[in-house]
Amino acid sequence: MAFALILLSGLLFLVSGVMLLIAAFREGLLWGIACFFLPPVQLIFIVLHWDRCKTAVLTWLAGLLVLVVPVWMGGEEFAADLKTQLETYAPQQSLPAEWQEKLESMLPDSAKKELRRASAQLPETVKPKQTVYKCIDARKNVTYSEVPCPNQQSTEMKVSQ
């Protein structure tokens, strides 16, 4: 929910900015260019041409409201919900060992120490693979074992723990 509210407020901010630029360009080419390249000019344009840009300002305020009210009403819950959603969308992954060694060799010593300290604090996300054997007996019953199957057809598999 938190992520959706942030996206909605960002969309409202974007729409209001486009509406304001459209109003500035309709007033004149110089106003439009000035508002596009010099954001403080937008405030001057809003004051001088309130009748043309009040819907853009109200849209911007709606975006601000959509962003601020949930944070103000339940800040800790909102932050925890956002953190959970961000971890779901961007899970942490570690590099293969040889890549990590190559990258570390390019860093200065002070950065290597900091990297080791930081990586020691992170939970291990990639677990080593374990060998499991799939055993099929004469009656086609399937069992799984950590040791090769005696007198049975077996298939070796690598699985994560």
7 found inside a domain: yes
148 and 75: one domain? no
pLDDT at residue 91 greater than cutoff 60: no
pLDDT at residue 83 greater than cutoff 80: no
108 found inside a domain: no
14 and 84: one domain? yes
Q: Which of 28-42, 66-80, 90-104, 134-148 holds the top average pLDDT?
A: 28-42
68 found inside a domain: yes
26 and 78: one domain? yes
113 found inside a domain: no
Are 3 and 85 spatial neighbours (Cβ–Cβ below 8 Å)?
yes
pTM of the entire structure? 0.48
Average pLDDT over residues 46-56: 95
Distance between CA atoms of 31 and 43, rounded to whole angstroms?
12
Average pLDDT over residues 138-158: 71
Report the SS3 class of residue 27.
helix
Q: Of 136, 135, 138, 159, nearest to 147 (Cα)? A: 135
pLDDT at residue 90 greater than cutoff 60: no
Q: What percentage of residues in the chain have a pLDDT greater than 90? A: 35
Average pLDDT over residues 60-74: 83
Q: What is the pLDDT of residue 69?
A: 77
Q: What is the pLDDT of residue 22?
A: 96
85 and 16: one domain? yes
pLDDT at residue 160 greater than cutoff 70: no
Residue ranges in the chain assigned as alpha helix (H): 2-27, 29-37, 39-48, 50-73, 75-89, 97-105, 109-121
Q: What is the pLDDT of residue 75?
A: 67
Domain count, the chain: 2
17 found inside a domain: yes
Enclosing domain of residue 69: 2-89
Q: Place 41 in a pLDDT band, splitting at 50, 70 and 90.
A: very high
